[in-house]
Structure 1
Amino acid sequence: MASPGGTSSGSSLLHNLGSHEDLQALMEQKKRKRMISNRESARRSRMRKQKQVSDLITELSQLKKENSQLIMLLSITTQRCAAMKAENSILMAQAMELSYALESFNETAHSMRGSNLRSNMSMWDGPQLTDSFMSPWNLRHINQPIMASAEDILYY
C-alpha cells in the first residue's frame, strides 16, 4: 500500500493526472468529431437546399413555357370562336333572307295561280312567266344587303 517514501501516493497522483489529461484529450477529440460531423451535415443540408432551388427553378421555367403555350392556344381558340360567331351571324341572316324570299315566292305563286284560274288562259304565257317565278333570284326584294355589326366584320 503506501511505501515509506511516499512513492505510491505520488504515483497514484501522477496516474490521476494522466487520467484527467487523457479524459480532457478524449473530450477534445469527441468535440472535434462532433464539429466535423456538424459541418458535414450542414454541407449536405446546403447541397439539398441548392438542389431543391435548382429543381424549383427548372419547374418554374417549364410551367412558364406551358403557360405561354396555353395562353397562345386560348387566344387562337378565342379568335376562331369569334370568327365562327360572325360566320354564324351571316349564315343566319342569309337563311332568314332566303326564308323571306321563299315565303314571298310562295305568296306570289299562289296569287298568280289564283288569278290565273280566273283570267283568260290564252292571255297568260305560262312557261315564260312560270320560269321567271321559279327562280327566286329574279325577285327584286331579295337584293337587300346582309346586315352585320362592325365587330363581326373585323374577324373576316
Structure 2
Amino acid sequence: MASSSTTTGTSSGGSGPYPIQGSGSEKDLQHVMDQRKKKRMISNRESARRSRMRKQKHLDELATQLSQLRKENNQMISSVTITTQHYMNVETENRVLRAQVAELSQQLQSLNEIIAFVNPCVDSGCGFMEEQYGSGTEFVDEFMSNSLSYVYANQAILASADMFMY
C-alpha cells in the first residue's frame, strides 16, 4: 500500500485540529477554507439580523416615547389653557369687585358727610326747637331711615362683568 501524504496533527502555523494538507490535497484545503468562510458568513448574517432587530426595537421604543410625550404635551397645553381661562375669569371678577368697593366707598363717604352735617345741628340745636322736633335724635333717626334708605336701596350697582371685557 502506498503511504498517504496526509497526516493528522497540528502544525506550528495551524489553528486547531484540522488535518495538515499535503501538496496533493489542495481541494481539501479549499473545502476547509470554504467551510470557514461559510461559517463566518452565517455568523455575520446572524449578527446583522440581531443588529437590525435591536435597531427596530429601539425605533419602536422611540416611537412609543414620542407618542407618550405628545400626549403629555397636549394635556399640558389643555391644562394651561384651562388655567389661563380661569385666571381671566377671576381677574374680571376681581375688577368688578374693585369697582363695587370704590362705589360703596363713595356711598359710605357721602353718608358720613351727611351724618357729619346732621350731627352738629343735633348737638348745638341749629335753631330747631326741641318741642317741635323732640330731642333731635328722633329727627336724625327718621331722616336716616326714611329718606336715605330709599335713595340707596333702589339704586342699582353700576359695575358689571361686561364693563371690563376686552
The one of the two structures with greater contact order (alpha-carbon pairs below 8 A, sep at least 6) is 1
- In structure 2, what is the equivalent of residue 106 of structure 1? 112
- In structure 2, what is the equivalent of residue 129 of structure 1? 143
**Number of equivalenced pairs:** 140
Unaligned runs of 5+ in 2: 7-20
Q: CA deviation at 1:68?
A: 1.3
- In structure 1, what is the equivalent of residue 165 of structure 2? 150
Letter of the 2:32 counterpart: L
User: Are 1:89 and 2:95 an aligned pair?
Assistant: yes
- In structure 2, what is the equivalent of residue 59 of structure 1? 65
- Residues of 1 paired with 2:60 and 2:22: CA distance? 58
> Are the structure 2 counterparts of residues 23 and 133 from structure 1 closer, same or farther at C-alpha, using a change threshold of 3 Å?
farther
Letter of the 1:145 counterpart: L
Letter of the 1:109 counterpart: I
Letter of the 2:82 counterpart: I
- In structure 2, what is the equivalent of residue 154 of structure 1? none
Q: CA deviation at 1:51?
A: 0.8
Q: CA deviation at 1:130?
A: 3.0
- Residues of 1 paired with 2:93 and 2:29: CA distance? 94
Identity of aligned residues (%): 40
DSSP-derived class of the 1:78 partner: helix
Unaligned runs of 5+ in 1: 1-6, 152-156
Letter of the 1:119 counterpart: G
- Residues of 2 paired with 1:133 and 1:110: CA distance? 16
Q: TM-score, normalised by structure 1?
A: 0.76
- In structure 2, what is the equivalent of residue 119 of structure 1? 127
DSSP-derived class of the 2:24 partner: helix
Q: In 1, are the aligned partners of 2:100 and 2:157 still within 8 Å (CA)?
A: no
- Residues of 2 paired with 1:72 and 1:144: CA distance? 36
Q: In 1, are the aligned partners of 2:118 and 2:140 still within 8 Å (CA)?
A: no
Please state which structure has a larger fraction of its residues in helix. 1
- Residues of 1 paired with 2:56 and 2:28: CA distance? 42
